[in-house]
Amino acid sequence: MRIIEAKDYKELSKQAANIIAAQIVMKPDCVLGLATGSSPIGTYDQLVEKYENGDLDFSKVSSVNLDEYRGLDHENDQSYYYFMHEHLFDRVNIDAENTNVPDGTNPDAEAECKRYEELIRSYGGVDLQLLGLGHNGHIGFNEPAPIFEKETHCVDLTESTIEANKRFFASADDVPKQAYTMGIGTIMRAKKILVVVSGADKADIVAKAFFGDVTPEVPASILQMHPDVTIVGDAEALAKIPR
Ligand code: GLP
């Protein structure tokens, strides 16, 4: 596990974007695993800047997103499909045909999750997976649970996640109660993993997830077992890790 400490969010975003840019330069037809949430927004802004400066070409890149709310369609501005187009896909030269987000409108959860898992396999896996970290240690929408769910599946969101994500909706009642998410096995099969963490409110979970016990009750803790993980955090988020 490599930990890169950045002085603030801007610096963190630059460092994370450099790592993603290096991946694209080394393998122009790479498969990126992408994440939503507020943490990676700055990273996407930096990638857009590199593209606009002529330093990065997304034309051969493919992407698979971690998760999507069940029931939200593409036009819904809270869907992760919408988020990805707003923050990255519509701002760079990635071919929209090569971008993938689980289809929240498919009511058949089993069929959708199976389709998505097979799609990722058909790409030959993910080269670099970007992750944020939930306050309860969730990655994607893998919530604390008695076991690690291996493959893409439908989850019931926890109260803590609904509470954390309600800031984007009119009220907590409007937050969907379920989501489709890559499983822990799906995430762990990525060749490289890049975690972005920012802010004092993440300090406790960062220490617990990356220096505590490996347990499905803290889903991100499994990343300790991955051979190629880089955590890029600002000083506040890394304040409680053992030195
Ligand atoms: C959501 C997403 C996660 C993300 C988490 C943290 O629940 N499904 O992928 O990591 O939020 O978000 P933030 O970066 O806004 O704290």
Measured CA to CA, the distance from residue 4 to residue 19 in angstroms comes to: 11
Distance 220 CA to ligand 1 centre (A): 12
Per-residue model confidence (pLDDT) at position 223: 98
Q: Catalytic residue positions?
A: 67, 136, 138, 143
Structural domain of 68:
19-186
Residue in 82, 133, 142, 231 to alter for ligand 1 test, most ligand atoms within 8 A of Cβ: 133
The total number of structural domains that make up the chain:
1
Q: Which residues lie with the beta carbon below 6 Å from any ligand 1 atom?
A: 35-39, 66-67, 132-134, 140-141, 161, 165
CATH of the domain at 57: 3.40.50.1360
Is 204 part of any domain?
Answer: no
Distance 35 CA to ligand 1 centre (A): 8
Distance 175 CA to ligand 1 centre (A): 14
Position 232 pLDDT exceeds 90 = yes
Position 222 pLDDT exceeds 90 = yes
pTM higher than 0.85 for the full model? yes
Position 59 pLDDT exceeds 90 = yes
Per-residue pLDDT reduced to its tens digit, 169-206? 999 999 999 999 999 999 999 999 999 999 999 999 99
Position 100 pLDDT exceeds 90 = yes
Is 27 part of any domain?
Answer: yes
Per-residue model confidence (pLDDT) at position 243: 85
Position 1 pLDDT exceeds 90 = yes
Q: Which atom of ligand 1 is nearest to the CA of 196?
A: 14
Is 3 part of any domain?
Answer: no
Per-residue pLDDT reduced to its tens digit, 131-154? 999 999 999 999 999 999 999 999
Is 35 part of any domain?
Answer: yes
Is 150 part of any domain?
Answer: yes
Is 195 part of any domain?
Answer: no
Rg of the chain over CA atoms, in angstroms? 17
Nearest CA to ligand 1 atom 12: 37
Position 160 pLDDT exceeds 90 = no
Nearest CA to ligand 1 atom 11: 37
Is 175 part of any domain?
Answer: yes
- Span 44-65, mean pLDDT? 98
Burial 168-189 (b: 16+ CB within 10 A, else e): eeeeeeebbeebbbbbbebbbb
Distance 37 CA to ligand 1 centre (A): 4
Is 67 part of any domain?
Answer: yes
Using pLDDT thresholds of 50, 70 and 90, give the confidence band for residue 81: very high
Using pLDDT thresholds of 50, 70 and 90, give the confidence band for residue 89: very high
